[in-house]
Amino acid sequence: MKTPKIPAADVRSFLDATAGQPPLRSMAIADARAAVRQMPALLDSPPDPSVKSDDVSLRIDGTRQLRARVFVPEGMTAAGPSIVYFHGGGWITGDLDTYDSVCRAIAARTRLRLVSVDYRLAPEARFPAAYEDALAATRLLLSARNPIFSKTDGVILAGDSAGGGLAAAVAHELRGDSGVRAQLLLYPVLDVAGRGSSYSECAEGYLLEAADMECFIEAYVPDHTQRSDWRCSPLLAESFEDLAPLALLACGFDPLRDEGRHYAASCSKAGVNVHFVEAPGHIHGIAMLRLAIPSSQEILDRACAGLMALL
């Protein structure tokens, strides 16, 4: 797919307005996390009040607990699958509050229950910690002893950016499990070992920069010998057969664009039912930029509609 030479008009306005802001890679970890926590109030649509929420704890490994937030939209079909969502943030930032509005929007659009799951962050917890948390949470939510999903029909593995990569990796681990109904991946990180041409084409000037990704990858997977492990690079998995149906959103002005394209193509070649959406004039992170970039809402809606068409 050919990418236009210039971003969409509202994307360009946003980039012009934010030019000169210090990149996350230049900040101390605590400052970067604080900056990301402030973003929704400034840049994203207000949380949908029609979607109810409740904070819960997921006990995993018998000893540890993960924070989670359950979202229940109006008109939810009780017998439908439930979405398990892993937030983005380069494995080093992000939490339940930061992604609250995004999760409400997805729950409202799909009319499905959604559980947003926190996980350990780098550099305090490096690979495979985030993956292990995502897998453990998913297995718990699929298990008979889980009270949250007791009346639902399986799960949809979902996430954006780093969280999209976690969802994809869990989908590979659980290939062939009938309880995993689909995947919803928003501009996911799928290959921390390689760098597609979009890394050079979109290296600077489009919010997420190639140097940011290098910093994030170094924090999460500092051991270069581990970067070809499919648990952090699902695009490098040996097989894509028997994966759950895939809805994937890629953005034209995103260093991660090419790995999204290649992942969707690999899944399709392996016989996986794929709904691929590319937003050619848009940038990474648009799901949480819907106030600053109004056209983002329609794109998120298209991705959600594609997911529902797969079920």
- 161 labelled catalytic: yes
Predicted local confidence at residue 31, as pLDDT: 97
- Rounded Cα–Cα distance for residues 80 and 58 (Å): 21
Pairing mode, strands 155-160 and 114-117: unpaired
Please give the full DSSP string across 208-237, using - where no structure is assigned: S-HHHHHHHHHHH---GGGTT-TTT-GGG-
Question: Helix, strand, or coil here: 55?
Answer: strand
C-alpha closest to that of 303 among 261, 274, 281: 274
Among the listed residues 161, 198, 233, 296, the single catalytic one is 161
Among the listed residues 254, 258, 266, 282, the single catalytic one is 254
Mean pLDDT by 10 residues, the chain (311 residues): 79 96 95 96 97 94 91 86 96 98 98 97 98 96 72 88 98 96 98 96 96 98 98 98 98 98 98 97 98 98 98 94
- Rounded Cα–Cα distance for residues 100 and 47 (Å): 7
Task: Report domain extents, the chain.
Answer: 9-310
User: Has domain 9-310 been given CATH number 3.40.50.1820?
Assistant: yes
Reported pTM: 0.96
Phi, psi dihedrals of residue 207, rounded to the nearest 5°: 75, -75
Predicted local confidence at residue 62, as pLDDT: 78
